[in-house]
Amino acid sequence: LLFSERQQRESRNCEDYGPQEAFSLTCFTCKDATSNLHCLSTTTCSDHEKYCLTTYSTTGLGNDRNQRISKKCSAFCPTIDLNIGIAGVATSCCETSLCNISGASSVKTSYTMIALGVLASLACILRLGF
């Protein structure tokens, strides 16, 4: 009988929290941070938000390269991995609390893509006779 009363009390204590609080996803959140060190705030996600989304973007070249990291709760998981040489964007998603501690796959400036773009432009200019 004593064991049964104890189980009822523990069961009641768990019910006090409700399903929302007991199983809500928690994600790191920030907007346009310059590094992961500036992206350590946490947020409890809404019921419909099932993913922690990280967006990593870069612009510029060499010493003028600029990177930004944004993290948030999300209802969907867009897959983006775009690199056009002097700019790029990548996303990553995960589904467990605080799983987005690191950044998305980094977007690296592709010097090969820049060189190919310049060569293609020159070929086009020479062909058209400008």
Token pair for 124? 């086009």
8 within domain boundaries: no
92 within domain boundaries: yes
State pTM to two decimals: 0.62
1 within domain boundaries: no
47 within domain boundaries: yes
Half-sphere exposure of 35 (CA within 13 A, CB side): 1
Structural domains counted in the chain: 1
Token pair for 54? 């990280």
- The residues near 74 (Cβ < 8 Å, ≥ 6 apart) are 49, 50, 51, 52, 53, 93
CATH number for 88: 2.10.60.10
What's the pLDDT at 86? 87
pLDDT tens figures, 7-42: 444 444 444 444 444 578 999 999 999 988 899 999
How far is 44 from 27, CA to CA, in rounded Å? 7
66 within domain boundaries: yes
10 within domain boundaries: no
pLDDT tens figures, 74-91: 999 999 999 888 899 999
Domain that residue 60 falls in:
21-128
pLDDT tens figures, 47-79: 999 999 999 999 988 788 899 999 999 999 999
How far is 71 from 101, CA to CA, in rounded Å? 9
74 within domain boundaries: yes
How far is 27 from 32, CA to CA, in rounded Å? 16
Beta bridge partners of 92: 54
107 within domain boundaries: yes
